[in-house]
Each structure stands twice: as C-alpha cells, then as structure tokens.
A and B are shown apart, each in its own frame.
Chain A
Amino acid sequence: MLDLLSQPWPWYIAGPLIGLMVPLLLLLDNRSFGISSSYQHICAALVPGRSSYFAYDWKKTGKWNLGLALGTLLGGVVASVLLANPEPIAISSATQTDLADLGLHNLSGLVPGEIFSWSSLGTAPGLLLMVGGGFLIGFGARYAGGCTSGHAIFGLADAQLPSLIAVVGFFVGGLISTHLLLPLIL
C-alpha cells in the first residue's frame, strides 16, 4: 500500500482531493481556503511595528490559518518520511533540455540543488532566486489579497472576478520570470 502511495500521484487523483479543501474548511469552521494570510499573522505576532495592517488580534483572527500552515509543513514531513519517491520528478524531456541549456543538469529532488542550497546563498543567482523571489511572493500575495490557494483555487472556484485578474497576473509574472529573467540570472 505504502509502495503504491509512494509513487507520484496523478493529477486526476491529487487535483480533485486538493479541491476538496474548499468544502472541508467551509463545513468545518466557515473558513475560506487560503494560506498566505498566515504570513500576515506571523508578522502581526512577531514584528507588528506600527503598521495598522498588523494591528488586530492575530490569535483570534489568525489561529486557524496558522494551524493550517503548520499542518502543511507537517504534511511535508509525513510525505517525505513515509511516502518519499526516490526517482527524479518525471518532467517532460523538452523541459529537461531547456533546463540543461540554462546549466541545470541535476534534476533530482524537489528543487534544483545547484541553486537552492545554503552554499549558493552567497552567489548572485542564489540570492536573486531565493531572497528576491521570496520577497516578491510575500509582497505580491498580500498586495493581491491572496495566493495560489486563495485566488487560483478558492477564488476561481467561487467565480470571483478579482481572483481571475490575480491569476492572470500570476501567469504573466511567471512567464516573465521563466522566459526573460531566468536566462539572464542563470
């Protein structure tokens, strides 16, 4: 059983199960699925400063979302300990060729170890991808009022116009990074 579950899960199994997060959280506690507000709650708890954006009772408002975020981390632990797939991720050969052209040859693991490692933090590509990219994720998610879960899954499922515009933005940004920035950085 564990052997079977350790294989990568096909999209038609994993996707619908991810979609069930939407009714699960609503029926459980009237919560709209989304993760990135946890970043706001963490800041409100640790370094609120004088911003009115952090002036609320994070324990009351954010507790559920911080629980969801903690669970997501623990879920990663469970998956890596019990259900790890030892094989490299089976991306298409076209992508493998493109990444080789960028100088990425080690395609094992979840992220390219040639860039996403502690030792490459001191290099320009490592800094730009990890620190620069991380900053944009946090800034952009709060500016847009949601991320991939809140806008792309919940918001689109609820046919909300703001989410549709945000998701178009997600793709425009991702295409620019992939096709313009990565060739410059790597």
Chain B
Amino acid sequence: MSIRDHEEQAVGPLKSGDDATQNLSWWAHVLVGILFGILVTKAEVISWFRIQEMFRFQGFHMYGVIGSAVAVGALSLLMIRRSGAKTIRGEAISIVPKDLGTGVRVAVGGTLFGLGWGLTGACPGPIFALIGNGVSVMFVVLASALAGTWIYAHLQPRLPH
C-alpha cells in the first residue's frame, strides 16, 4: 500500500476532469457494495445461526456459498489473465499478492479473526450489512472492531509478522 501511495503522490495533484472520473468511480463502488450487501443478506451468510451451523458441520449451505464464490472468482481470474482483459479505462489488470511475512501474521491473525467470527457470527462486510438490516447493536461490534484495528496499528511494530 505504501509503495502505491508514493506512486500516486508522485503524479501530483489531480486535474478537475480526473475529479469527475474519480467521483463516478466512487459511486460505482457504492453500487457494487449495494449489490454485495443484498447478496450477503439473501444468502444468509450474515446470520449468526448460519455461521453456527457451518462451524458445527451441520449444513452445506455456507460451504456451498463460499465454495461456489471461490470457484467463480478463480474462473474469472483465469479468463481475465488468459484474455489479457483490461479495466474499463484501459489499464492493465494488476493484482498485488498478499503478504505472507514469515507466515505468523496470517496464521495468528487468521486464528484471532476466526475466534471473533465464531463469537459474533459476523465478519467485516456482514457487520455493515447487519447494520443496514436494522440490527443496530452491531454498531457496538463495529466500534469494537475499529478499536481492535487501532490497537493493532499501535502494536504492529512489536508484533511478529
């Protein structure tokens, strides 16, 4: 992220025409988000009950949703790479690989995340979708997740990654 920041800053201030494009793109992301919010609600993956069913291996539903999403995502990436498809603005598609570090960050961070997923039955996207669905107490979960993010940021220099 920091490398990308520097590259973007090196370009200098955006022109007004670029501003309009930026705003259009922002609204496009809001629209994609709305679609995602509807999907996770109707797929019931934001439900604490469905998450319990998954972690108790008592139903196929969650595995079906995640498995088919991964399969379609993988197939899409394969097609994009094979065809050399570009973005709608004509840029080459670029994917920054996830950071493995020594493996500690993903193993330990992943397990801590999983503990929270099992307790709240929600993860970062569904927390937003649940608030939208009127489960207002999820604001507390969101605030606490932001506190966790903040504490992580301040402990980051001392944590093994």
In this complex, how many residues of chain B approach chain A with their Cβ under 8 Å: the count is 124
Distance (whole angstroms) from the CB of A127 to the closest CB of chain B: 9
A89 to B128, Cβ gap below 8 A?
no
- Interface majority SS on B: helix, strand, loop or mixed? helix
A18 to B117, Cβ gap below 8 A?
no
Distance (whole angstroms) from the CB of A151 to the closest CB of chain B: 7
Please report which residues of chain A, range 39-72, place their CB below 8 angstroms from some CB of chain B when the two chains form the complex. 39-40, 42-43, 47, 49, 51, 53-54, 56-57, 60-61, 63-65, 67-72
B149 to A39, Cβ gap below 8 A?
yes
B140 to A133, Cβ gap below 8 A?
no
Chain B residue nearest to A170 (CB atoms) is B114
A145 to B106, Cβ gap below 8 A?
yes
| A8 at interface, CB cutoff 8 A | yes
B137 to A54, Cβ gap below 8 A?
no
CB neighbours (8 Å) of A73 from chain B are: 33, 37, 128-129, 131-132
Q: Which of A9, A77, A134, A169 contacts B110 (CB 8 A)?
A: A169
B129 to A158, Cβ gap below 8 A?
no
Give CA–CA (A40, B116) in the complex, Å.
Answer: 17
- Identify the A interface with B (CB < 8 A): 5, 8-9, 11-12, 14-33, 35-36, 38-40, 42-43, 47, 49, 51, 53-54, 56-57, 60-61, 63-65, 67-80, 83, 85, 89, 91-92, 94-95, 98-99, 107, 109-112, 116-118, 121, 128-163, 165-179, 181-182, 185
Smallest CB-CB A-B distances: 3 pairs: A75-B37, A71-B33, A173-B114
- Identify the B interface with A (CB < 8 A): 1-2, 4-5, 8-9, 22, 25-56, 58-62, 64-74, 76-77, 79-80, 85, 87-89, 91, 93-101, 103, 105-125, 127-138, 140-154, 156, 159
Q: Would you list 28 pairs from A and B whose C-beta atoms are within 8 A, ordered by A residue?
A: A14-B39, A14-B45, A16-B71, A27-B88, A28-B29, A32-B95, A36-B123, A72-B36, A73-B129, A76-B41, A79-B132, A89-B50, A94-B56, A95-B56, A111-B48, A121-B137, A134-B143, A140-B114, A144-B113, A147-B125, A150-B98, A156-B74, A163-B98, A169-B108, A170-B111, A171-B114, A174-B117, A185-B119
- Apart from A134-B143, A170-B110, what are 5 other A-B pairs with CB-CB below 8 Å? A11-B65, A134-B147, A169-B111, A173-B116, A182-B119
